[in-house]
C-alpha cells in the first residue's frame, strides 16, 4: 500500500497535505520538487527538505536532476541565479542515494515520466522484463551507474516531442500524449511529468501531474482510488479568489473602465 503524489514544483501546501494524509502508510513522490513560475525559491527548498526529512520515497524528476554537478541536461525553468544552492542540496541527496529513479509498490511501477514499451531500450539480461520489484531495482542500478560514470543511457533520452533528438523519451522525459511510442503494457505504472488538467487514468497507467491546478490529487494503491485532498468548498473559494484577481488585473490593464 502507498499514497502517491505527482509533481510538486515548490508547493508547500501540497507537500504538507500529502505527508499528513494517512501518515501510517508509505508515501511516494514522483519527482520535480523545484522550478516554478509561482513559488519563491525558499518554498522550493522547504519542499525538498520536508520530503527528505520524512520517510517518503522520493523519485528523481528532470527538474531535480538538472541541478546536479554532473547533470545530464538543463531543462527549461532552470534557475541559474539559485543553481548553487540547489546543486548543493541535490548533490548531497545524491550522495546519500535519498532519491531513486524507480520504485515498485503494490504492483505499480513508479517513475517520473513513464516506462516505454520495450523498456526504454533498457534490456539487461531480462531483469527489466520481470513484473516485480526486480524491475525497479534494475532501473535504479543502471541509473546510478550511468550517472556515476557519466555514461549515456536510454533512461536519459529526451524525445523530439520535448525538444530533444531521441526517437522516444526515457523515464524522466517520456510524454505519452505527444509521442508515438507506447507505454509498457506488461507493467501497471504511475507517473507525472506531463501536466494535465486532471489525472489521466487508463487500464494500464495513471498520469498524476496536475501542477497548476488548485486540486491536490493523490493515488491510494490499497483502495485503488484517486483522492483530492482539497474539499469542494476550498476549491470553490480558491476559484472565486482566482476570478477576483483576474478581474482586478483586467480592470487595471483597461485603465479602470
List average pLDDT for each run of 10 residues in the chain, which is 257 residues long. Answer: 96 97 97 95 98 98 96 92 97 96 95 83 55 84 90 88 88 91 86 96 95 93 94 75 60 55
Beta carbons of 176 and 200 less than 8 angstroms apart: no
For residue 9, the tally of other CB atoms under 10 A from its CB is 24
Beta carbons of 171 and 101 less than 8 angstroms apart: yes
For residue 211, the tally of other CB atoms under 10 A from its CB is 19
Specify the pLDDT at position 127.
Answer: 56
Specify the pLDDT at position 232.
Answer: 81
Specify the pLDDT at position 237.
Answer: 74
At 207 the three-state DSSP class reads strand
Beta carbons of 27 and 2 less than 8 angstroms apart: yes
CA distances from 67 to 51, 142, 206, 219 (A): 17, 20, 27, 28
Nearest to 88 by CA among 117, 52, 126: 52
Q: What are phi and psi of 6, to 5 degrees?
A: -85, -155
Specify the pLDDT at position 252.
Answer: 58
Count of alpha carbons within 13 Å of 35, Cβ hemisphere only?
20
Amino acid at each position: 500500500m502507498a499514497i502517491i503524489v505527482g509533481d510538486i514544483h515548490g508547493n508547500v501546501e501540497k507537500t504538507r497535505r500529502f505527508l499528513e494524509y494517512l501518515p501510517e502508510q508509505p508515501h511516494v513522490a514522483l519527482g520535480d520538487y523545484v522550478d516554478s513560475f509561482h513559488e519563491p525559491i525558499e518554498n522550493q527548498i522547504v519542499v525538498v527538505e520536508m520530503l527528505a526529512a520524512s520517510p517518503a520515497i522520493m523519485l528523481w524528476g528532470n527538474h531535480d536532476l538538472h541541478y546536479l554537478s554532473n547533470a545530464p541536461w538543463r531543462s527549461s525553468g532552470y534557475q541559474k541565479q539559485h543553481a548553487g544552492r540547489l546543486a548543493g542540496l541535490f548533490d548531497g541527496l545524491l550522495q546519500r542515494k535519498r532519491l531513486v529513479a524507480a520504485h515498485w509498490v503494490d504492483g505499480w511501477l513508479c517513475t517520473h515520466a513513464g516506462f516505454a514499451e520495450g523498456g526504454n531500450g533498457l534490456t539487461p539480461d531480462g531483469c527489466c522484463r520481470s513484473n516485480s520489484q526486480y524491475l525497479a531495482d534494475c532501473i535504479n542500478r543502471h541509473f546510478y551507474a550511468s550517472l556515476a560514470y557519466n555514461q549515456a543511457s536510454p533512461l536519459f533520452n529526451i524525445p523530439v516531442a520535448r525538444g530533444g533528438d531521441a526517437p522516444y523519451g526515457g523515464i524522466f522525459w517520456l510524454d505519452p500524449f505527444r509521442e508515438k511510442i507506447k507505454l509498457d503494457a506488461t507493467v501497471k505504472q504511475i507517473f507525472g511529468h506531463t501536466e494535465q488538467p486532471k489525472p489521466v487514468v487508463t487500464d494500464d497507467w495513471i498520469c498524476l501531474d496536475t501542477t497548476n491546478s488548485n486540486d491536490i490529487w493523490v493515488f491510494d494503491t490499497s483502495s485503488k482510488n484517486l483522492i483530492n485532498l482539497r474539499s469542494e468548498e476550498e476549491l470553490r473559494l480558491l476559484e472565486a479568489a482566482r476570478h477576483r484577481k483576474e478581474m482586478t488585473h483586467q480592470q487595471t490593464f483597461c485603465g479602470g473602465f
